[in-house]
Structure 1
């Protein structure tokens, strides 16, 4: 994973023509990389949460599937790729509905909703995910408020929760 290259962007998300290697200790001040996440919603309204593998940062905490955009990827392409890599669930970029974008210390975090038919068969990547659960959105929000989700998710859900709820219910 330390060979991953990310496009650097300005605060508006425009690529600036430079890259950053994941794991390099210094991240350029005032620049960002794109992180994308997907809240998958089944036809019955339940949403997919994944539990991070124990060896990862924030190990054994819950999250919506997420990851960094690789060089050349759009935010939507990264969201689709990360979802498929971590869970085996396939969606198209045209299936994504943007919940919102949040600036974080070194990242611009893009959060999407995607609907899937039926009850998709999951193929969890054990290096990334140790468990999954289909839960009502209220349960995901409860886990976020209770500190059961990876640390960055608490402020994300506080800021984007209302819009997320509207898109999940739509």
Structure 2
């Protein structure tokens, strides 16, 4: 967790309310408040998808997920997705290249999933504070890892809701 990490408090539609909240301080979530979390499914030109393994020091240690994290105060969901992807994996993508898949609503978080294209020779440089490892997997292997319970537990309902829309975007690309 980053010290001094501030989030916009949003309504259920992701519209900032004007309030902000410092991560880790008592009182989250404020009554009816949400924060936006942006995640990115990176797809190489050869069809392989990037999964990252959470570091051993984080919640859900060593479980797998798509890169992402909380959107900071003043950022859009897309800007947060681009930043988180770059911070966790070293992969830089232009904001306009992200394709929105969908939003999953949790108790106090709005999880936005995007797809980003990457070249087959893209280099992944993980931030060891955030990420223990990364792997490129075929779509069916990602689905198997999810269904076998190897993804971080919060990803199970997210993927249950977003897997169909994700496959549509992946198949169209």
**Normalising by structure 2, what TM-score?**
0.96
The structure 1 segments of at least 4 consecutive aligned residues displaced by more than 6 Å after TM superposition are none
Whether the 8 Å contact between 1:5 and 1:70 is mirrored in structure 2 is yes
Name which of 120, 125, 128 aligns with 1:126.
128
Match of 2:87 in 1: 85
Unaligned runs of 5+ in 1: none
- In 2, Cα distance between equivalents of 1:154 and 1:25: 27
Contact 1:100 1:111 in 2 (8 A): yes
Question: What's 1:94 paired with?
Answer: 96
Cα distance in 1 for residues equivalent to 2:151 and 2:120? 26
1:105 aligns with 2:117: no
Asked if 2 retains the 8 angstrom alpha-carbon contact of 1:13 and 1:108, the reply is yes
Report Cα offsets for 1:20-46 as digits up to 9, x if no partner. Answer: 110123210211000000000000000
CA RMSD of superposed structures (Å): 0.8
Contact 1:45 1:169 in 2 (8 A): no
Structure 1 residues 100-144: Cα deviation after superposition (integer angstroms, max 9, x where no partner)? 011111111100001112221111100000100000111112111
Asked if 1:69 corresponds to 2:71, the answer is yes
Unmatched tracts of structure 2, length 5 or more: none
